[in-house]
Chain A
Amino acid sequence: MSTLLLDDVSKNFGDRAAVSDLRLECRDGEFLVLLGRSGAGKSTTLRLIAGIESPTRGEILFDGERVTALPPEQRDVAMAFESYALYPHRTVREHLEFPLRAPGRNLTEAAIAERVTQVAELLEIGALLGRRPTQLSGGQRQRVSLGRALVRRSRLTLLDEPVAHLDARLRHDLRGELKRHQKAQGATSIYATPDFSEAAAVADRIAVLVDGRLRQVDTPARLYDQPADVDVALTAGDLKMNLFEADRVAAFAQPVSGVHRLGIRPSDIRVLDRPDPSALPGTVYVTEPMGYDQIVRVEAAGQVVTARMPLDRGRFEIGQQVWLAPDWRRQHPFDPQGRRLGARLP
């Protein structure tokens, strides 16, 4: 029996459909990530699970029982809000203690203190326990918000872009530690983010949301290797996949029949500074060196193609004539409706 099941859940705000026909299952102890752009419906989904919003249609089940009609306080769900939702008049310590003092929770003072200390250590906010939100930086606030959600060890933990406002270094470190912590606790977590790298780094499975609909739920590797449709392909990758019209590149790519568009990942394209009859000619649009890699954007085949290569393979100038050699064997074929040829339904 799964911890969470969304059964054909839809939510409309007026005539705008925020999410439609969601069928999602989250298994016990799983670290599931909701991936999608802003506005795709990630927050709405989390809020529906939390009970802050009620679905227009469909049912939500925890451990097989319907909770759709239950208010949030009775669902044993913890949530870290993207906007933190910290209590301005309370200290950090009070934030961490508050959930543990709720009616019905019978924890001894000692147990409360221990949990608070443990979470404070994990998130490195021990020195801030006496402060109020206005005395904290954005990153510190985010960690307090996270701490409040973690301290309860609830059945389900919802994390809405929990590291979004931290600097790159801290974001990187904290997301990994978060996952370790949740796994060590055996907790079930649902984590929302628009960033594929973040999702892929921590997820057991990723659920991709596009315009309020679930398009694919899979492991990070399968999602990356076999995106089910064009939207998923564009969402699942830290660099956007290049899409070519099949007939434009037919001579080079030899696509199978039925293919309308071909996707090639930037890392599967080599940029050559010498002419090559089997390569696409183009002009360098811009280069972005990044230390050991570089991104080279080339105007070719009527669009700007993005390629990623190691820096030591060559340096290019804006406006330089180059030739693109994609590894066509690694193409992602899509039909006229945008679906992957031979894809299985989610």
Chain B
Amino acid sequence: MTQDTRARGAAPRAARWALLSAWSLFAGFPVYWMVVTAFKQPRDIYQGPFFLPFVDFTPTLRAWEHIAGPARDTVLHGLANSLLFAAGSAFIAVVLGAFAAYGLARYPYKYGPYRNDDLSLLIVSQRIMPPIVAVIALFAMFRAAQLLDTRVGMLIAYTWFNLPLTVFLLTDFMRRIPVELEHAAALDGYGKLAQIRHVVLPLAMPGLAAAYLLSFFFSWNDFILALMLTFRDAVTLPIVITNLSAQMEPRWWLISAIGILAMLPPIVAVFLLDRFIERRVLHAPRGEDS
């Protein structure tokens, strides 16, 4: 039972509200601005800033009409690729990562002088290098393997990108599952695979879901890998957006509209997976008296 030591009174409350409101405004404004911009005419954008629809400016669906019309194929193409790469690479990275994590958490490996911690470091270190440097090597390798601008290539690239994260997260998660639970299941009569199915997987779910979401986000938001390794067939949404602003001058209204589209899948993903990320499932402290 912790004491409620918050400062009491009207003045501290007002200060708390003021601080939180200020920060909410600061954090939320870019999103608001983007949404509002997607419904503005170009001249309203250049002559701005206009903040409130119907008050400062007249909203229009022009940007959306363009996306649904002439730009439709391009946008859908980018969207489809982004979805495929994010969802797909996250899935592969989580599955492979889970296997690796279980192994690293449970079995003592020894390859020459290298043991579990060294292997972990080897995997995780892939992400220590800034992607912009690594992508140069990737480019060379992909060109040699004829994987440039291919969907398969991008899936491999994003999986490589996410694996260190999933292994890192999941190893810790697996370690936290007491191995005694698997022993108990064994004594209850279940073999290794059944133990994993009945005990390990359900308890690792929060970790798996979290790792999936993070991998999804990283892939979804990636720019540099897509930029260097795709030109046409495998372009993703960020690249589509960039292309749209490459001519003459940035077409903010289109960028904003596609930006809104780009925000939606990750939000959906979070809603879908949120229920797996329960809190305190593993929290089972030692007993006192009954």
Contact = CB atoms under 8 A, between A and B. Distances in A.
Interface of A: 50-52, 71-73, 77-79, 81, 83-89, 98-99, 102-105, 133-134, 137-143, 148, 152, 165-167, 170
A139 B286 contact: no
Interface in B248-290: 280-284, 286-290
B202 interface: yes
B184 A165 contact: no
A86 B284 contact: yes
B112 interface: no
B186 A52 contact: yes
6 contacts: A79-B187, A83-B286, A85-B180, A87-B181, A137-B287, A165-B286
A99 B190 CA distance: 8
A166 B284 contact: no
B175 interface: no
A140 B183 contact: no
Nearest to B282: A88
B288 A85 contact: no
Nearest to B288: A138
Interface residues of B, number: 27
Nearest to A76: B189
B188 interface: yes
Contacts of B178: 83, 85
A73 B290 contact: no
A85 B290 contact: no
Contacts of B190: 73, 102-103
B199 interface: yes
Contacts of B280: 134
B68 interface: no
Given A83-B180, A134-B280, A134-B283, A50 B289 contact: no
B289 A89 contact: no
Choose among A88, A99, A103, A143 the residue with the greatest number of B CB atoms under 10 Å from its CB. A88
B290 A139 contact: yes
A138 B187 contact: no
A179 B260 CA distance: 68
B287 A142 contact: yes
B191 to A, nearest CB: 6
Given A89-B202, A89-B203, A89-B281, A137 B289 contact: yes
Given A73-B186, A103-B191, A134-B283, 18 more contacts: A73-B188, A81-B180, A81-B184, A83-B180, A87-B185, A88-B282, A88-B283, A88-B284, A98-B198, A134-B280, A134-B284, A137-B287, A137-B289, A141-B284, A148-B188, A165-B287, A167-B289, A170-B289
A72 B187 contact: yes
A185 B203 CA distance: 35
B281 A102 contact: no
A52 B289 contact: no
A165 B285 CA distance: 12
Contacts of A79: 184, 187
The 10 closest A-B pairs by CB, nearest first: A138-B287, A139-B290, A102-B189, A167-B289, A72-B186, A99-B188, A85-B180, A85-B184, A165-B287, A138-B288
Contacts of B283: 88, 134
Given A83-B286, A138-B290, A139-B287, A88 B187 contact: no
A212 B199 CA distance: 32
Nearest to A158: B187
B187 A50 contact: yes
B194 interface: yes
Nearest to A84: B287
